[in-house]
Amino acid sequence: MTKNCRKSFNSGKTNRELNPLRAGGYKLEEAYGTWRRRYDALNVIESALEDKIDIPADYQLGGWTGADWRDELTRLPEDLAEDIGYRILPGVLSLCDHVTATPETAKLAAGAKKQASYIVNMCEQHRSSIVRDTKRRDAKIERISSARYLVIQVLMMVEDSFAAANLPPSLR
């Protein structure tokens, strides 16, 4: 069985090796903003589906539009897995290199690879239910719910990293 999300994650890691990060949290902050917007967009989409409201084609949904969110949703597990390999995991490790070493940052760095692997596995598990297109409104809402779950996992990983590194809330 092809592990699409694992391949995407490995591709992201390989691409990052070509462009290593300097010490700091800038890529992690950038990734957090991207996935926070995706999470907010998923909430809007879910709400529109629940209330049976059509989303206009030109409506902006955090980097998506009303016209393209369905296609973007089907790519979300693989895009998320790739971003974990390209920005998120390297960003967490880079952030740990940037701040003064504490027991919390050492623990964070040690567990980051394991947590990233867990989330990529979750992407793989949820991928089939997310990519399966359906006409039923309840099934679409379930797809959105699965996608939100994946994004929440990444947001929590990043927020834990910010907290362990003692980053001020203004940078989150």
Express each pLDDT in 16-34 by its tens digit. Answer: 888 777 766 778 889 999 9
Confidence band, pLDDT 50/70/90 cuts, at residue 130: very high
- At residue 32, the pLDDT reads 93
Mean pLDDT, residues 148-155: 96
Say yes or no to pLDDT of 172 above 60: no
Rounded to 10 deg, the angle between the 69-83 and 103-131 helix axes is 150
Express each pLDDT in 24-69 by its tens digit. Answer: 677 888 999 999 999 999 999 999 999 999 999 999 998 899 999 9
Q: From residue 101, give the alpha-carbon distance in Å to each of 105, 106, 134, 164.
A: 6, 7, 49, 10
DSSP structural state of residue 99: S
Say yes or no to pLDDT of 121 above 70: yes
Query: How much is the mean pLDDT over the chain?
Result: 87
Say yes or no to pLDDT of 169 above 60: no
